[in-house]
Structure 1
Amino acid sequence: MNTLIWVVLPYACLTVFVAGHVWRWRHDQFGWTTHTSQLLENRWLRLGSPLFHLGAFGVIAGHAMGLLIPASVTSALGIPEHGYHLVAVWGGAVTGFVLVVGLVLLIARRLVNGRIRRVTTTMDRVLYAFLAAMVVLGMSATIGKNLLGSGYDYRETIAVWFRGIFWFQPHTSLMTGAPLVYQLHAIGGFLFLALWPFTRLVHVWSAPLAYLRRPYVVYRRRGTPAPVPPPAPAVVRDRAFHPVGKS
C-alpha cells in the first residue's frame, strides 16, 4: 500500500499531467483559454482574481523553496534554521490568507450570480472543490501544525521524498511517519496535477504575446448610436426634355 500511494500514484499523476496537456493541445485548442466571465460580472472578479493569483504565486514560490531547496543549501548560505522557519511559516500564512480570500470571492461569485452560475461547467465545480480542499489542508498544516502546534520539519522528510521522485529514488519510509495532514496534502497535490490538463488552468502555459501586436478594439457605451456617415453627393445628368402629347 505504501508503494502504491507514495511511488505509483505520483508517477501516474505526472504521466497524466504531461500526456493530458499534449492531448488537450492536439484535440481542444479552441478550449485552451481561461473561459473568462468578466463580461457577465466584473465587480467581484476585479477584487477576487488579483487576490487569488497573488496568493497562488506566493504559495507556489513557498512550496518550491521548501521542497526543492535542501536544508544544506540554506545553511551554506548562512540562513539559520530558526530564521528560515519564521519566514516560511509567516510567509505561508500571509499568502495563504490572501489566497483564501480570493478563492472565497471567486466561489461566492459563481454561487450568488445567476448568470455566472449558468455558465459554470462541471469541471469548474470539480476544480474549485479541489482548490478549496488543497487550501484547507495547506492552511491546516501551516497554521495548525507549525504556527500554533509543536511544528514539523518537513524539509528532512517530505522534501527529500519529493525530490527523490524526480531522481527515481522515492523513499516511502519518509512519508509513512509524516503527519496525516501532510500526507493528505501531498496526495491531493498530485491528484490536482492529474486534473490540471482538463481544466481552464491550461491557460497558464500560454503567454499572451499576440496582444502586443493586436490592433485596438473600439468599444462604445450602451445606447450610443453609431455615427452615421454623410450622404453621398447626388449626381445630376443633363437630359433632353421630350414632352409627351397626342399627335
Structure 2
Amino acid sequence: MSTYDQFFWLIYPYLMLTLFVVGHIYRYNTDTFGWSAKSSEFLEMSRLRWGSLLFHWGIIFVFFGHVAGILVPKGFYEAVGITEEMYHFGAVWFGGAAGVATAVGALLLLYRRSTVSRIRINSQKRDFLVLILLSVVIITGFTNTVGYTASGGAFDYRETIGPWFRGILTFTPDVELVTSAPIGFQIHIFSALFLFGIWPFTRLVHMWSLPLEYLNRNYIVYRRMQGKKLTNR
C-alpha cells in the first residue's frame, strides 16, 4: 500500500468525518442564529422554484439510493431474491432519473446565484463552493452509475466501495478494496468526503432542521409596500 493510498483512503476519510461531527457541534454552539439556509426567495423566486424543487426531491432519492447500494450488503439482496439484473435496472433508471433531477437543480441554483445581481452581492464564497462541489459530486456519481455500470463495466462498487465504506464506519477499512476503483469513482468519493468536511461551515446545516417539512411547505408570501415597487433583476 502506497503512502498516497494510505492518506486518501484511510486518513482523509476519518479527517473529513471528524470535521463533519466536531464542526456541527462547534457551529451549533457558536452560531445558533446562523443555523439556516438564509433564504433568498424574496430577492428572486421564479428560478428558485424549479431549482429548489428538482434539487431537494432529487437528493432525497439519491440519498436512499446510496443507502441501498453502499450501506446494504450485496448478500442481503441475494437473500431476498433481488437479482443482479433487477438491482442494476433500478440503479440505472430510477437512480439515473434522481441524479439528473438533482444535477439540473444544482446547476439551476448555481446559475441563479451567479446571474442575479442582488443574490450574488449577498452571497459568500462558500455558497458558490458548495454548489460547485455538489455539482461535481452529483455529476461524477451519475456518470459512474449510468455511464460505467450500464455499459457493462467489470467493476462492482457493491463488492469494493461498499465494504470499504462500511469498514470506515466500523473502524476496519480495507484500503485495497478502493485503490483499484476507476478514477471516476475515486473522484466521486474524494469530492463527497470533502463536502462532508466543509458541511458544518456552510448553509447545508439547515438540512438538520426538519428538511422533509421544507419540501411540502407553502411559499413565503412577500407583499409590495404601498407606494413602492419591488423588481427582480
Whether the TM-score (by the shorter chain) exceeds 0.5 is: yes
Instruction: Give yes or no for contact 2:37–2:203 (8 Å, CA) kept in 1.
Output: yes
1:182 is matched with which residue? Answer: 185
Distance in 2, Cα, partners of 1:149 & 1:76: 23
SS in 2 for 1:35: coil
Instruction: Name the aligned partner's letter for residue 146 of structure 2.
Output: I
SS in 2 for 1:103: helix
Q: How far 1:25 sits from its partner (Å)?
A: 0.6
Instruction: Name the aligned partner's letter for residue 175 of structure 2.
Output: T
Instruction: Name the aligned partner's letter for residue 103 of structure 1.
Output: A
Distance in 2, Cα, partners of 1:86 & 1:5: 31
Q: How far 1:207 sits from its partner (Å)?
A: 2.8
Quickly say closer, same or farther: Cα 1:119–1:203, change in 2 above 3 A: same
- Could you give the per-residue CA deviations for residues 199-245 of structure 1, whole angstroms, max 9, x where no partner exists? 0010111238xx9xxxxx997543279xxxxxxxxxxxxxxxxxxxx
1:37 is matched with which residue? Answer: 40
Matched, 1:150 2:162: no
Q: How far 1:151 sits from its partner (Å)?
A: 5.3
Alignment partner for residue 102 of structure 1, among 105, 109, 114?
105
Q: How far 1:15 sits from its partner (Å)?
A: 0.6
Report the aligned-residue RMSD: 2.1
In structure 2, runs of 5+ residues without a counterpart are 215-219, 229-233
2:11 is matched with which residue? Answer: 8
Instruction: Name the aligned partner's letter for residue 184 of structure 1.
Output: I
Q: How far 1:80 sits from its partner (Å)?
A: 0.9
SS in 1 for 2:174: coil
Alignment partner for residue 136 of structure 1, among 134, 139, 150?
139
Distance in 1, Cα, partners of 2:23 & 2:188: 22
Quickly say closer, same or farther: Cα 1:178–1:220, change in 2 above 3 A: closer
1:15-164 paired onto structure 2 within 5 Å:
15-148=18-151, 150=153, 152-164=155-167
Instruction: Name the aligned partner's letter for residue 71 of structure 1.
Output: K
Instruction: Name the aligned partner's letter for residue 154 of structure 1.
Output: Y
SS in 2 for 1:150: coil
Q: How far 1:147 sits from its partner (Å)?
A: 2.2
Distance in 2, Cα, partners of 1:181 & 1:224: 56
Instruction: Name the aligned partner's letter for residue 66 of structure 2.
Output: H
TM-score normalised by length of structure 1: 0.83
Distance in 1, Cα, partners of 2:207 & 2:221: 27
Distance in 2, Cα, partners of 1:184 & 1:191: 10
Distance in 2, Cα, partners of 1:136 & 1:207: 26
Distance in 2, Cα, partners of 1:178 & 1:105: 31
Identify the structure with the greater helix proportion. 2
Structure (1 or 2) with the larger CA radius of gyration: 1
Q: How far 1:150 sits from its partner (Å)?
A: 2.8
Give the % identical residues: 42
Quickly say closer, same or farther: Cα 1:40–1:142, change in 2 above 3 A: same
Matched, 1:207 2:210: yes
Q: Name segments (4+ residues, structure 1) moved above 4 Å.
A: 217-221
Distance in 2, Cα, partners of 1:218 & 1:119: 20
Instruction: Give yes or no for contact 2:99–2:139 (8 Å, CA) kept in 1.
Output: no
Distance in 2, Cα, partners of 1:174 & 1:202: 31
Distance in 2, Cα, partners of 1:218 & 1:177: 52
Q: How far 1:143 sits from its partner (Å)?
A: 2.2
